[in-house]
Amino acid sequence: MKTNLSSNWWSFTLSGIIAILYAFLAFYNPEGMLTKIIGFFGIIVLIIGIAMLIGVISNIRNKQPYGAELTWTILTIAIGGILTFYTKEAVSIFVIIVGIWAILMGIVQVYIMTRIEPENKSRNSFLINGIISIVFGIILFFNPFTSASFLLIITGILALFMGIFLIVLSFKIKNFAKELEV
């Protein structure tokens, strides 16, 4: 008896190949790939904004309330435009915001650590997490685009391992399906 999973083993192979291709692109040119990914994401956000605009125009024609939708539409189109046409700057700003957030979270964790009783074992984990968050935030804050490119390389490493895993899994599923047929 053939199951849905065993008849679609090839989809795991295809997913693995795509993950490995992503990994090699991330290794080969991380900064270029980062700008392409953000640029494509910006185009998608622009398309969503245009679709939202069509909905707002429909609401205006049908004399429906449209104020909130118009505000979100304008914001979506603006974000899409910034991501599409000012990709490198948008990535830098986003990474700086994440860096500031990490620094603030680290400070909060260190503060919480000072309020925990000394015999509590979670005190050390708050201190370690706080210091790591602060260092991570400082690194992101002072070199945002390179940091984002490095994070893309890390995702490439993960994609490489996941791609290999998916391909191996697909052949195991295929072989298991053949065993079931016999």
- At 43 the pLDDT is 94
- Indicate the residue type of 20: I
d(CA 104, CA 100): 6
- At 176 the pLDDT is 81
- At 34 the pLDDT is 83
d(CA 126, CA 140): 21
- At 6 the pLDDT is 65
The pair of three-digit structure tokens given for residue 115, joined into one six-digit string: 């309020």
- At 5 the pLDDT is 63
Q: Distance between alpha carbon 107 and the CA centroid of its chain, in Å?
A: 25
- At 3 the pLDDT is 59
- At 8 the pLDDT is 80
d(CA 100, CA 134): 9
- At 66 the pLDDT is 87
d(CA 112, CA 70): 42
Query: For the chain, which ranges sit under pLDDT 70?
Result: 1-6, 182
Residue with tokens 């998608």, as numbered in its chain: 44
- At 2 the pLDDT is 56
d(CA 14, CA 161): 14
The pair of three-digit structure tokens given for residue 28, joined into one six-digit string: 């080969």
d(CA 59, CA 167): 49
